[in-house]
Amino acid sequence: MTYTTILVNLEAGRSNAHLLQAASVVAERFQARVIGSTACTPLQLVYGDGYAYGDILEQDSQEIAKEIAEAEAEFRDAFGKESRVLDWRSAVLITPLADHLANEARRADLVLTNATPEGSFNAARQIRTGDLVMQVGRPVLLVAPAPAPLRMERVVVGWKDTREARRAVADALPLLKRASHVSVVAIAPEDDLSAARSHLEDVAGWLGRHGIAADTHASLATGDDATGLADMAEERSADIVVAGAYGHSRLREWALGGVTRNMLRHAARSALLSH
């Protein structure tokens, strides 16, 4: 198993340099085909008194076309004359951007997207990453806005004995096989610590049969699992955290678990998430 094709979600109207740098690292590591994608939602106006706002809509259409062209140019420039096969997709639509990218992911093994800082969301240009992770059916590498280039050497797997965690660690196998250090960690209440340690040993044994050496650590829950997992990742100088994404749909809004929500909104390091 490997990542033969990666799909990179570029945000129109802004620089995607850090994301493209990360995509280049991933593509080089796995010798993967790269698909660039961007989508925008046009300006939605409420018409009144027979006035069609034609000039405003035309200006918006021209701005969207310009932003999409700039995103494509940035994408192609980032990979230069490399022999790797590139592909480009763009769309202007009125449906949610996450829906569109999830559909585009039918051609990819792994999706890369920027972490969106809390409070800066722009629905016309940015996907809702929670929606994307919940519906895409592919692992999503959420690239943190760190100043340094993406590294994939030290990986922490945040384990819970759930379907989502099992899906995430299976999706991450290509990444784990090429990492120099893998830790599988869990947070559990005192009564469950012994069982958690046993589960971690099972996971480490399974990884070992895939040729991946992993150490394990179970930490006592203190009430804030998001902080606990972040602390364990920091202690191990993790480049990437692998975790299951937890949530369910409520009238098209995603109710996310605390750890998942923290990773999406306060990304201190890159994370590979699967649902």
Tell me what pLDDT residue 200 has: 98
Two structure tokens written together for 223: 């009430």
The residue among 239, 206, 243, 214 whose CA lies nearest residue 228 is: 243
The residue among 120, 174, 115 whose CA lies nearest residue 142 is: 115
Tell me what pLDDT residue 260 has: 57
Q: For residue range 12-41, list pLDDT tens digits in order.
A: 999 999 999 999 999 999 999 999 999 998
User: What is the SS3 assignment for 41?
Assistant: coil
Give the H/E segment covering residue 67: helix 54-79
Residues across the chain: 275
Weakly modelled stretches of the chain, pLDDT under 70: 44-53, 81-84, 116-121, 247-267
Q: For residue range 212-250, list pLDDT tens digits in order.
A: 999 999 999 887 788 888 889 999 999 999 999 876 554
Domains of the chain: 5-143 (3.40.50.620), 154-274 (3.40.50.620)
